[in-house]
């Protein structure tokens, strides 16, 4: 049996939630657990984040799974509903919805008398990201219509920042939001992970942490550890073979690495079918028996290679960390030209998970 596995640390999730609460002590926390909790497993992650005030998900099935598991907190569908059947289901189960377009608003208005109970709404403004939401010019009108709609229990105002993670920041979008909502007295939700870590002025009533809960950084060039975050996933395997290359010999598909000197190579039981990025280049960080080293050669479907020339005790059976405590997922992502979000979400279904903490 292959030794590869992903280990989810519930204590790390609790720690990262505590970081959010310390930064924004007067807000409610909507923990974002979409995409199977960023690859950690929806119900696994929820058990570590059970002290959150609510959970944000993408699909109705995720919200229903949380309700069926006994979670009574606010559950928010981040893209709202797309059919009458979904609208009836959220009303029946007390699930909140984002309303971001005219069709969703009209659905509430026309079906108000049919629902089991009124629905809580997060009304989304397109303040500049140009992805979802009502433009500022129509936002107040949409809010008034929801206030007059019998199908709506309460309204929280929200927007999403496009550049909270870089030098442009949130000032322009925040100014648009503030100006548009100045006459509205509803609760507000603005801050994603990057805004929580960088812009206290965006905290307001609800914050929406995502990637930071899992111990990865939303800010390029700043490590998760620098924000006091702890990785919630360790992706691990073991060495299944050792090869020695002489100078001039090449390694793996495409001969992407050629030795310039005698080089010991560990063959690791992990490949792109397990969720490791195929495009990770020579030099991507990895750890063998807790010692940092680097990958060499092209990642194949089930195996990859690591340099153990200077790790004389490494052998068949040595423990490998693809990412986790010694090697951050952000460092692997940076080497591979992507982001930690993608790597965490991409761990394949064939990888077994273990829960600790």
For residue 299, the domain's CATH number is 2.40.37.10
Q: Which of 34, 272, 276, 341 is catalytic?
A: 34
Q: In this predicted model, what pLDDT tens digit does every residue of 162-190 receive, in sequence order?
A: 999 999 999 999 999 999 999 999 999 99
Which pLDDT score is estimated for 207? 98
Q: How confident is the model at residue 2 (pLDDT cuts 50, 70, 90)?
A: confident
- The per-residue pLDDT of the chain, averaged, comes to 97
- Asked if residue 195 lies in contact with residue 210, where contact means CB atoms within 8 angstroms, the answer is no
Q: Which residues are within 8 A (CB) of 65 and not within 5 positions of it... i.e. 6 or more apart?
A: 42, 43
Please tell me whether residues 204 and 270 are part of one structural domain. Answer: no
Q: How confident is the model at residue 111 (pLDDT cuts 50, 70, 90)?
A: confident
Q: Which residues are within 8 A (CB) of 71 and not within 5 positions of it... i.e. 6 or more apart?
A: 46, 50, 55
The answer to whether position 59 is within a domain reads yes
Please tell me whether residues 304 and 253 are part of one structural domain. Answer: yes
Residue with tokens 């497993």: 41
Question: Which of 154, 185, 217 delimits the end of a domain?
Answer: 217
Which pLDDT score is estimated for 144? 97
Q: Give the domain CATH number at 141.
A: 3.20.20.10
253 assigned to active site: yes
Residue 336 reports pLDDT greater than 80: yes
Tally of structural domains, the chain: 2
The answer to whether position 95 is within a domain reads yes
Residue 199 reports pLDDT greater than 80: yes
Which pLDDT score is estimated for 206? 98
Please tell me whether residues 69 and 155 are part of one structural domain. Answer: yes
Please tell me whether residues 163 and 249 are part of one structural domain. Answer: no
Q: How confident is the model at residue 129 (pLDDT cuts 50, 70, 90)?
A: very high
Q: Which of 71, 214, 253, 354 is catalytic?
A: 253
Which pLDDT score is estimated for 112? 80
Which pLDDT score is estimated for 325? 96
Please tell me whether residues 190 and 249 are part of one structural domain. Answer: no
Neighbours of 136 (CB within 10 A): 17
Percent of all residues in the chain with a pLDDT value above 70, rounded to a whole number: 100
Classify strands 54-57 and 28-32 as parallel, antiparallel or unpaired. parallel
Q: In this predicted model, what pLDDT tens digit does every residue of 136-167 receive, in sequence order?
A: 999 999 999 999 999 999 999 999 999 999 99
Please tell me whether residues 190 and 333 are part of one structural domain. Answer: no
The C-alpha atoms of residue 141 and residue 210 are separated, in whole angstroms, by 30
The answer to whether position 321 is within a domain reads yes
Tell whether pTM > 0.75: yes
Which pLDDT score is estimated for 308? 98
Distances (CA, A) of 25 to 196, 206, 284: 11, 11, 38
User: 352 lies in which domain range?
Assistant: 233-356
Averaged pLDDT for residues 124-132:
97
Residue 1 reports pLDDT greater than 90: no
Question: Which of 165, 186, 217 delimits the end of a domain?
Answer: 217
Please tell me whether residues 202 and 253 are part of one structural domain. Answer: no
Please tell me whether residues 243 and 199 are part of one structural domain. Answer: no
214 assigned to active site: no
- Asked if residue 264 lies in contact with residue 241, where contact means CB atoms within 8 angstroms, the answer is no
Instruction: Take residue 27 and report the two structure tokens written for it.
Output: 């807000």
Q: In this predicted model, what pLDDT tens digit does every residue of 10-57 receive, in sequence order?
A: 999 999 999 999 999 999 999 999 999 999 999 999 999 999 999 999
The answer to whether position 2 is within a domain reads no
Q: How confident is the model at residue 113 (pLDDT cuts 50, 70, 90)?
A: confident
Averaged pLDDT for residues 72-100:
97
Q: In this predicted model, what pLDDT tens digit does every residue of 282-326 receive, in sequence order?
A: 999 999 999 999 999 999 999 999 999 999 999 999 999 999 999
The answer to whether position 1 is within a domain reads no
Please tell me whether residues 211 and 247 are part of one structural domain. Answer: no
């Amino acid at each position: 049996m292959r030794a590869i596995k992903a280990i989810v640390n519930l204590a790390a999730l609790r720690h990262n939630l505590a970081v959010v609460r310390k930064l924004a002590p007067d807000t409610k926390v909507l923990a974002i657990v979409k995409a199977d909790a960023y690859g950690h497993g929806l119900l696994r992650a929820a058990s570590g984040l059970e002290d959150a005030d609510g959970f944000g998900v993408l699909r109705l099935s995720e919200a229903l799974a949380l309700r069926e598991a006994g979670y009574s907190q606010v559950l928010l569908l981040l893209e709202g509903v797309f059919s009458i059947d979904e609208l009836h289901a959220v009303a029946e189960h007390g699930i909140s919805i984002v309303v971001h377009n005219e069709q969703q608003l009209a659905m509430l208005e026309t079906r108000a008398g049919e629902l089991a109970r009124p629905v809580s709404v997060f009304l989304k403004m397109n303040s500049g990201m140009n992805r979802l939401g009502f433009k500022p010019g129509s936002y107040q009108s949409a809010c008034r219509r929801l206030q007059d709609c019998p199908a709506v229990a309460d309204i929280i105002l929200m927007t999403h920042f496009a550049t909270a993670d870089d030098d442009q920041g949130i000032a322009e979008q925040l100014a648009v939001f503030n100006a548009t909502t100045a006459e509205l007295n509803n609760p507000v939700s603005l801050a994603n992970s990057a805004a929580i870590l960088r812009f206290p002025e965006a905290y307001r009533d609800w914050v929406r942490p995502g990637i930071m809960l899992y111990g990865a950084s939303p800010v390029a060039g700043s490590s998760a550890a620098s924000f006091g975050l702890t990785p919630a996933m360790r992706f691990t395997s073991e060495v299944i073979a050792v090869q020695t290359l002489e100078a001039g010999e090449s390694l793996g598909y495409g001969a992407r690495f050629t030795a310039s000197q005698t080089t010991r190579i560990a063959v690791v039981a992990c490949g792109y079918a397990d969720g490791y990025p195929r495009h990770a280049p020579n030099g991507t960080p990895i750890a063998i028996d807790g010692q940092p080293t680097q990958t060499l050669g092209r990642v194949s479907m089930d195996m990859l290679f690591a340099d153990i020339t200077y790790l004389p005790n490494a052998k068949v059976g040595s423990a490998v960390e693809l990412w986790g405590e010694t090697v951050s997922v952000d460092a692997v992502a940076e080497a591979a030209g992507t982001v930690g979000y993608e790597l965490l979400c991409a761990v394949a279904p064939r990888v077994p998970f273990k829960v600790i903490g």
